[in-house]
Each structure stands twice: as C-alpha cells, then as structure tokens.
Amino acid sequence: MPFVDTGKIEPFEKLPGWRGRIYHSVGMTFGHWEFDAGAEIHKHDHLQEEVWHVLEGELEITVGGVTQVVRPGIVGLVPPNTPHRVVALTAGVAIAIDNPGRPDFGPTPPQ
C-alpha cells in the first residue's frame, strides 16, 4: 500500500486532549495528532526512536531532562529508551513517527 489517505482513518482520543489517526508502514508507526492547549503526555520511554514534527502550534518537549519549545520548523528527536514528556502550550497539529513500528499502538478496543 504505497499511499494512505489519513482523512479516511477514524480519529480517537488516546489521552485527554490528544486526538489521533494512527497508521503503520512495514517498519514505522505514524501518529497524526491534533492537540488542545494544556494536553499532556506523561513522562515515559519506549524501545522506539520517536520524531515529533509540529505542523501547527507549540509543544514543550522534554527529552532526557532537556526541555525545548517545539513549533513549526523545529523537530523533536527522542532516542530509544529515553524518558520524554510532551505538553501542549497551544492547540495544534503534529506528526509523531516511531521506528521501529509499534503495531500494537492505536485505539484501545472497547471493553
């Protein structure tokens, strides 16, 4: 499948204020996120390298204890197994890419 129409993917709320559309390539996972001001992704780490590309708005991203405001034109790079946290300073849109992929990452099925 060489093309993905992200507009046809049903969005879901992964965490309060984070609405995403998730899709996977052979080796990567992509999250197209819309976020609300004040929304937060708690401090965590995972095996995957992660890249945050902000398209609209501003995120405060902390990677391994270093904090930076990330806005269009600035990309956040999270190495594997590195604690990181994301706080939305404004509403906006971002793409997060994980490599290798996280095939289990996506909407939580209803209980």
The mean per-residue pLDDT over the stretch 30-54 comes to 97
Q: What is the 3-state secondary structure (H, E, C) of 66-95?
A: EEEEECCCCEEEECCCCCEEEEECCCEEEE
Which pLDDT does position 106 carry in this prediction? 77
Bridge partners of 44, per DSSP, are: 84
Which pLDDT does position 86 carry in this prediction? 98
Q: Which amino acid is at 63?
A: V
The mean per-residue pLDDT over the stretch 78-88 comes to 98
Dist CA 69 CA 48 (whole Å): 22
Dist CA 66 CA 46 (whole Å): 17
Which pLDDT does position 111 carry in this prediction? 40
Which pLDDT does position 40 carry in this prediction? 98
Class of CATH domain 34-102: mainly beta
Which pLDDT does position 77 carry in this prediction? 98
